[in-house]
Structure 1
Amino acid sequence: MEINLKTFTLTEKLTQEQKDFFNKYGFIHFKNFITKDVVEHFKKEAHRIEKEWLESGIDKMNGIPLKFGKDEKGNPMIQRLCFLSQHSDILHEYLQDPRLKALLELIPDNENRIGEDEKDGLVFNHYVNADNSKFSQMGWHTDSPRDLFLGQKILKMLNVGTHLDDCPMENGGLRVLPETHNLSKMKVLFLKKQFIDHKPDEKEVGLNIEAGDLTVHDGDLWHRVEVCPFTGEKSRRRVMYFPIVQGKYQPKNQQSKTPFYHKLGKLVVK
């Protein structure tokens, strides 16, 4: 799809141009949202928590299964962690950034909020293309079906990604289908085979991402993560996601049950 892949700078108030771009295409890309020093701090925090959870034998957090793999040396690693900010003062403070609060305007609703303890909270995804890795790509999907599995009405939500590694378009990474957030609910659910379909789409758009960038996409937007053509360290991509949600406040805790969709098999849900 031929669109102007413009990038923006996020401040404490969205511009009309930024809101118009997001409303039309269903995603937006903000450059240099955090500094390279902050990127390194966040990576250290995520790996500190990963190490603690591995040593403690934790395999779920607030009912959500963790996703495990192995590094290039065959050592165990956690490739998807959730509710990270509940275990880090640094990451909890990050979610209070007033610039992030500005994103609430993208789905106008008085009850919009950053879902720090809802859905899966602050998620850390660690993609690496290696023989031992179990998490190198993610098939086409939307974020909406989870509400249906929980017996709830599909409400608008946003997924906000803080990128901790450089990922130019040729290295794989995030792919989106612009404007699909405005399709009918049937097509939001069934345009493609959720998570199973990995085939490139002629209308898809890839983003040139640098460490420190911020991306936002509508939960109804079809998107995927393309596998990196390289292997090992050059393929490493780390990104933290948190949701912006609306509707009834539904926090999770250690007594929360595992949602049914996690029991359907090895389904990767972002």
Structure 2
Amino acid sequence: MRNFEVPDFTLGDQLTEEQVEFFHKNGFIVFRNFISQELVQLYLSEGKRLEEMWIREGKDKINGIPLKYGKDEKGAPTIQRLCFSSLYSDPLHELINNPRIKILLDLLYPYEGRIGENEKDGLVFNNYVRTENSSFSQMGWHTDAPRDLFLGQKIMPMLNVGVHLDDCPYENGGLRVIPGTHKQNMFKLLFAKKYFVDNNPDNREVGFNMHAGDLSVHDGRLWHRVQQSPHIGEKSRRRVMYIPFITGKYKPKDEHSKTPFYHRFTTKGITR
């Protein structure tokens, strides 16, 4: 396990040849200072507003996708994974329609990609925090490929575009990836690790020093996990929003959509 010092890339009006080459080789890339600290605070407040609204309304699912409930340090209910967030927030909707975000679609070439605002799980607002009653402080090894298989579809390229809202040094946990595994064969894609159950470090994995306002991109076929923070309480908190960049057939979701079968695995043990 190693602390991977990523190049200090900055996202301009278009991707550079170096950035594209780095991403296709490793399956991930990080862009520094993508959004201002003012926008970081705005998005944090929007996440809090949605959480309070959905708790008040007793929401369990959005468009068929379960909300992940946990409890804060005082034992009060909190939502630790909010899906389709941009459909209920003007600032978040504006974020995913930002022309600078859309530049990243070029990383899906030669496939024609799109931003899945109302597909998959939409814009997901993750609130990782480690407390005695937290249900969402880490996430085991996985790729996003089986999701397509469960839906009876061919595995298609997709990107997870993360907007980071907290400073998270490598030592505090966070995203871990195994570079290059987005090019693995089908057997390794499906069986190299035990999905979501295996939280063990891998000697090939890399992690990052992330800062509030940074943007990360990783290929959905890449083996990745979220390392639990060694701290308890507020010091462990890590908030990041993920925007799905997808290819293939357009499959929007709405309030009548059924809960996908694979959520039986990812929501096990979650309490409200």
TM category (shorter chain) comes to over 0.9
1:264 shift after superposition: 4.3
2:21 counterpart letter in structure 1: D
Q: Which runs of 5+ in 2 are unaligned?
A: none
Q: Which residue number in structure 2 is paired with residue 139 of structure 1?
A: 140
Once the 2 structures are TM-superposed, how far is the Cα of residue 4 of structure 1 from its aligned partner?
5.6
Residue in 2 aligned with 1:11? 12
Distance 1:236 1:4, change over 3 A: closer
Matched, 1:201 2:202: yes
1:190 — aligned with what? 191
1:77 is aligned with what amino acid?
A: T
For residues 117-176 of structure 1, give each alpha carbon's deviation from its aligned partner in whole angstroms, at most 9, with x where no partner exists: 110000011110111111100001101110000111000000000011110001111111
Stretch moving more, 4-13 or 86-95:
4-13
What is aligned with 1:113? 114
Q: Does structure 2 conserve the Cα–Cα contact (< 8 Å) formed by 1:140 and 1:192?
A: yes
Local SS of the residue matching 1:116? coil
Q: Percent identity?
A: 61
The residue correspondences of 1:64-83 to structure 2 (distance < 5 A) are 64-83=65-84
Q: CA shift at 1:11, angstroms?
A: 1.7
Mapping of residues 246-261 of structure 1, within 5 Å = 246-261=247-262
Q: Distance in 2 between matches of 1:110 and 1:148?
A: 19
Superposition deviation, residue 108 in structure 1: 0.8
Q: How far apart are the structure 2 equivalents of 1:265 and 1:111?
A: 29
Which residue is 1:46 aligned to? 47
Distance of aligned partners of 1:114 and 1:68 in 2 relative to their CA distance in 1, 3 Å threshold: same
Asked if 2 retains the 8 angstrom alpha-carbon contact of 1:12 and 1:101, the reply is: no
Q: Distance in 1 between matches of 2:62 and 2:190?
A: 27
Helix, strand or coil: the match of 1:44?
helix
Structure 2: distance between partners of 1:8 and 1:180: 22
Contact 2:68 2:267 in 1 (8 A): no
One-letter identity of the residue aligned with 1:232: G
1:24-103 matches, cutoff 5 A: 24-103=25-104
**Corresponding residue of 1:158:** 159
Q: Say whether the 8 Å CA contact 1:12–1:100 is kept in structure 2.
A: no
What is the CA–CA distance in structure 2 between the aligned matches of 1:18 and 1:190, rounded to whole Å?
Answer: 30
More divergent stretch after superposition (212-221 vs 185-194)? 185-194
Tell me the matched-pair count: 268
Alignment-derived partner of residue 24 in structure 2: 23
Tell whether the 8 Å contact from 1:72 to 1:132 is kept in structure 2 after alignment.
yes
Q: Is this contact kept in 2: 1:43–1:164, CA < 8 A?
A: yes
Q: 1:195·1:267 contact (CA, 8 Å) conserved in 2?
A: no
Partner Cα distance (1:88, 1:12) in 2: 26
The change in CA–CA distance for 1:28 and 1:267 in structure 2 (over 3 A counts) is: farther
Name the structure 2 match of 1:127. 128
Shift of 1:99: 1.0
Alpha-carbon shift at residue 109 of structure 1 (Å): 4.0
SS at match of 1:159: strand
Q: Secondary structure at the match of 2:255?
A: coil
Aligned position for 1:233: 234
Deviation of residue 110 (structure 1)?
5.6
Moved beyond 6 Å, runs of 4+: none
SS at match of 2:130: coil
Matched position secondary structure for 2:193: coil
Q: Distance in 1 between matches of 2:268 and 2:211?
A: 28
Distance 1:193 1:179 in 2: 19
Tell me how far 1:247 sits from its aligned partner: 1.1
Q: Tell me: CA distance 1:255–1:119, structure 2 relative to 1, closer, same or farther (3 Å).
A: same
SS in 1 for 2:69: strand
CA shift, 1:186, in A, is 1.4
For 1:221 and 1:60, the matched residues in 2 are separated by 27
